[in-house]
Amino acid sequence: MTAAHEVRAYPFSEPNRLELDPMYAALRAEEPMSRVQLPIGEPAWLATRYHDVRTVLADPRFSRAMARTRDQPRTHSTENLDDGLVGMDAPDHARLRKLVAKAFTARRVELMRSDTRRIVEGLADTMAERGGPFEMVDDFAITVPVTVISEMLGVPEADRAKLRGWSEAMVSTTALPYEEIESNAKELFAYIGSLIAERRRAPTDDLLGALVKTRDEDGDRLSEQELVMNVTGGLLITGTETTASQIPNFLYALLTHRDQWELLCENPQLVPQAVEELVRWIPLNYSAMFARYALEDVQFGDVTVRKGEPVLGAVASANRDADVFENPDALDLTRAHNPHIGFGHGPHHCLGAQLARMELQSVLSVLVERFPNLDFVDGPDGVVWKQGMLVRGPKSLRVVW
């Protein structure tokens, strides 16, 4: 390193609702490349400014694959951050992403919009029939992405409850014992493997059938392990847990910024713009993850990251950088300039970003149209938050209208 830096314990604090720790703002102003020590692993650099984070995420001078050979910084021993696309560099990453993307196209996602709207409208019907109070996490938010991704993959309806349980277990850090997480992972991998075998015996035109066809027919094909890992990690887990958390996160953010909720109800055409702003503003992961290792010395201002040192890119902090976003701490659904990196940046940009956008747009559109008087049952303090998970989100959020 260029000079001595204080090594701070990281994360800086326990997650508190959707609040972003003020230390990020202080570091962006005074020490944009700082030294941190996570609970497990070697010390790392933490990038907090927008352009520095983008560099860490996209510059080929940084490697994700090297993390497999190092004691990478992480929050919990059960975090398995190296499997699938997220743990690869080019050219392997580019090869696999290209093959998976062939079966996970924007066109296929757009064709799901009407079905997604049908799913959300059905849940809204249930809300209206039951009346309030209504539980938005278990009875709404989780159901949307689980149903959508299950229909895309062709998962039988009878198996979707199990799928939900496995997915939740896979993103646990301290909420479940390690043995239980490992057991759930084995069951999920075995289940996906059985679905793949079924598609091979009887081809289908769903997403999983298309992936199996790609794996079996493409000259530069996926290995069987790569196929299972990318379906489970790249599509299923990230395609359910993050969206299932963001739906109640969106509601909490909007209902605690009542002027923005009312603005959206009065101007539903703002929904796509609102989704982008909410993704920017909400710190979904309570700490930076997925360390990249410098393949050579890299200069960031007056700091030199030496070859072999790990760097963490704080996406939530980057999305609050005043050099890029006007009044960055404000939730502003009319924000015109919004180049956020909430779905990542560079070669590891979220493969399911368009699916998440479509699902979140569908949910907001239905809720503002049908329940403009939506509000908390017990106020913001009545919301119960998840603990020991990789992503933030309410565990329980009850509403009335």
- We report the CATH number of the domain holding residue 266 as 1.10.630.10
Domain membership flag for residue 137? yes
Half-sphere exposure of 235 (CA within 13 A, CB side): 28
Per-residue pLDDT of the chain (401 residues; tens, 9 = 90+): 445 688 999 999 988 999 999 999 999 999 999 999 999 999 999 999 999 999 999 999 999 889 888 999 988 765 554 455 566 655 565 666 666 666 567 787 888 899 999 999 999 999 999 998 999 998 999 889 888 888 877 888 888 888 777 776 665 545 566 677 778 778 888 888 888 888 888 888 777 887 787 777 765 566 777 777 767 766 677 667 788 899 999 999 999 999 999 999 999 999 999 999 999 999 998 888 889 999 999 999 999 999 999 999 999 999 999 999 999 999 999 999 999 999 988 766 677 788 889 999 999 999 999 999 999 999 999 999 988 777 899 999 999 99
Domain membership flag for residue 46? yes
Lookup result for tokens 């830096």: 5
Short-list 78, 116, 226, 245, CA closest to 168: 245
Domain membership flag for residue 248? yes
Domain that holds residue 158: 7-400
pLDDT reported for residue 104: 62
33-37 vs 62-63, strand pairing mode? unpaired
Domain membership flag for residue 2? no
pLDDT reported for residue 235: 67
Domain membership flag for residue 1? no
pLDDT reported for residue 50: 98
Q: What is the DSSP letter of 383?
A: -
pLDDT reported for residue 1: 43
Q: Where are the beta strands (DSSP E) in 70-193?
A: 134-135
pLDDT reported for residue 81: 45
Tokens of 259: 């002027």
Sign of CA dihedral 15, 16, 18, 24: negative
**DSSP string over 313-349:** E-HHHHTT-TTTSSSTTS--TT-S-----TT--GGGS
Query: Which secondary structure element, helix H or strand E, spans residue 147, and what is its range?
Result: helix 143-153
Counted domains in the chain: 1
